[in-house]
Structure 1
Amino acid sequence: MHSRAFGSDNWSGVHPDVLAAIAAANVGHAPSYGNEDWTKEAVKKIRALVGKDCDVYLLFSGTAANVLGLQSMVRSHQAVICAETAHVHTSEAGAAEKHIGCKLIPLPAPKGKISSADIPKQLGYLGNEHHVQPKAVTVTQSTEYGTVYSLGELKEISKVTHDNGMYLHMDGARIFNAAVSLGCSIEETTRGAGVDVLSFGGTKNGLIAGEALVFFNRKLAEDFDFRRMQGMQLASKMRFVAAQYVALLSNDLWKKNAEHANRMAKLLSDGICGLPGVTLTQKVQSNSVFAIIPPKAISKVQKEFGFHVWNKDLSEARLVTSFDTDEAEVRKFCSVLAGAVGMGP
């Protein structure tokens, strides 16, 4: 096991304030299934960030949030338009297809982002019973490549989506990192940009296991109490999920965590940029760094640091920083990599 790792923000520990909140919730008995004060407070705090006019449901996992959110929008004869790099398309074992029965239509996304101009190209057979009918578009903010949609880009996608009778879903597993990168509020990059349903992630920003589904289009939340239960995402002791969000959304902890992770990614990219054979492949806009690294150097560095090779053909590595990434760890990684490519002391 690597004590120093850049494999994923899922590899990180749990913020001490979150653990303290769980311990505080672990006193006495409380009503089950969210009928207690912790859940009410968590929902209140989420609404304070994204806007009061919405429905909020706490869940266990990001994949469940994505699938159940999309299931609220589409039926089995319909389709979801997504980026070819989208987590729901590449990394959820076909969960959407299995549980919804719908088709995913991937669009080119060389920078992790789809273009609003590509969406209408998938709508040529609307009304034709021989073809699946696109009904939703999903975007990831920040993207799987660590890039960030601008507010303008999101609004353009939203307009095309809604003008064509579709819904817009956002996978916000790293929504906090995106918001601090843009210098905007969570509401501006979600509801304000025209998002109908948001998968509101927490696990990648310091929680143990906590996600939420936010319905800005409240009609889509009809019967969701039952669909959450059918989806096996109704927590009996929900206060322990809720307590995590209460801590994360108190005293700007979410912002401090995300700002730190993003800052460490920038420090990391600055430290490896210019090393022989090392080339950044994406703009560093959040807490992920993508870089081509010589294969021999990768094998040497992985003896000390855990991280993923994203594209073996290109020898492209993904390096992810977290709320608990230490600056000394970043500088040590840069030094080890420099030595591996022949520039070390």
Structure 2
Amino acid sequence: MAAFASDNYAPAHPAVLEALVAANEGHAVSYGEDRWTEHLAEVVRHHFGDHAVAYPVFNGTGANVVSLAAALPRWGSAIVTDVAHLHTDENGAPERVAGIKLLTVDAPDGKMHPESFGPYVLNLGDPHRPQPLAVSLTQSTELGTVYSVDEVRGLVDTAHAYGMRVHMDGSRLANAAAHLRLPLRALTTDLGIDVLSFGGTKNGLVLGEAVVVLNPEAVAGIEYVRKMSMQLASKMRYVSAQLVALLDPERDLWLANASASNARATRLREGVDALAAELARDGRTHDSGAPLLHIAYPTQANVVFPTLPRAVADAVRAEHPFYDWRPTAHPDLVESRWMCSWDTTDEDVDAFLASLRKAFG
């Protein structure tokens, strides 16, 4: 039974497991003074530029907190969207661990825009108000949308003009790069991103992400912040070896995995759209007149967000686990999240669509 709940549900890629086994030989110096971490440094420079420095960490929350804590002074706050993982799903870690106040902006499509900064930049220099000294954007977004190169450049240029640092939560950066058909550097370093949380767990790793410093002048003391945030691995070779397997330019597993999950989501979206059109042709609508099946956002990464009857969602969920995203204005309709992983197959998608059709009768 294939799950469509999260790309975290997926197993590790066999090549990643092979890399772990290969790293499990003899003794190696701890805390990053090993050849696997040294190799990771080379691979990261290949993808992100000569000044890029990688700091492996355990998880995405840790990567985000370490990135912002190193980019901000003690009095600094960070602007994020109202759907940002930092804001909704990290249990107050930025606030509790790093003392960072998050300033939210509305993002109906998952994206922030330069004009979003307006209400907060008026506070700059006022000691009574939180100081917006960093911006954190997510690529691809929590709603599966992807910022264009021009959109990111506009955000970065505006933020830098106000003296703010720019952090990118790239837990699914690989999916964005696959969608845009651009190298990782073109979405980050070349656009002026200062520090990046690069995701691995959602794209085939057992565990592990990396903080990638792209602008050394924009962050300070990250080695100390990583340690005090409990994100410094003693046996770092095991995290580094996985990241090397993912990013090795001779294989580009990061791109292959992300492209696969994106393709399955596109297949799923096409099937859902076809079914929604059939329901509409048959005159089947909600009592309010709303469609029985509807998708609000473009499918640009590896996730689909349908709105459908709760009873239908529950029937399909019994065979293919997934999560509800949020309620709608109608108590018997719900917006759900259907996510594809690197190992999702065409057959998995077709079986899911068959269950959906069956649930609609």
* TM-score of Structure 1 vs Structure 2, range by shorter chain: over 0.9
* Distance in 2 separating the partners of 1:246 and 1:78: 34
1:221 to partner: Cα distance: 4.2
Would you say 1:292 and 2:307 are equivalent positions? yes
What SS class does the counterpart of residue 306 from structure 1 fall into?
A: coil
Tell me which moved more, 327-336 or 223-232: 223-232
For 1:174 and 1:201, how far apart are their aligned partners in 2? Answer: 6
Question: What residue is the counterpart of 2:242 in the other structure?
Answer: 244
The equivalent residue for 2:342 is 323
Mapped partners of 1:135, 1:190: distance in 2: 19
Task: Return the alpha-carbon distance in structure 1 between the equivalents of residues 306 and 165 of structure 2.
Answer: 34
Instruction: Deviation per CA, 1:141-198: give whole Å up to 9, x if none.
Output: 0000000000000000001100001000000000000001011110010111110000
Counterpart check, 1:191 vs 2:189: yes
Report the TM-score when normalising by structure 2: 0.92
Paired residue for 1:338?
357
Answer whether contact 1:58 1:242 (CA < 8 A) is retained: yes
User: Residues 179-328 of structure 1: matches in 2 within 5 Å?
Assistant: 179-250=177-248, 251-275=251-275, 276=279, 277-313=292-328, 314-328=333-347
Q: Distance in 1 between matches of 2:63 and 2:166?
A: 14
Answering whether residue 87 of structure 2 is matched by residue 89 of structure 1, we say yes
- 1:24-173 map, 5 Å: 24-173=22-171
SS at match of 1:157: helix
Q: Which runs of 4+ in 1 moved over 6 A?
A: none
Deviations for 1:7-49, whole angstroms, at most 9, x for unmatched residues? 0000100000000000011111111111111111112112211
Deviates further, 25-34 or 69-78: 69-78
The size of the alignment, in residue pairs, is 340
- Gaps (5+ residues) in structure 2? 280-291
**Percent pairwise identity:** 42
* Mapped contact 2:111–2:147 kept (Cα < 8 A): yes
Distance (Å, rounded) in 2 between the aligned partners of 1:79 and 1:30:
39
Partner SS, residue 258 of structure 1? helix
State the TM-score, normalizing by the size of structure 1: 0.96
Deviations 1:244-302 (A, max 9, x none): 01111121111110100000000001111142321111100000111102111111101
Structure 2 counterpart of 1:139, which letter? L
Give 1:261's aligned amino acid.
S
**Secondary structure of the structure 1 residue equivalent to 2:184:** coil
- RMSD of aligned residue pairs (Cα, Å): 1.1
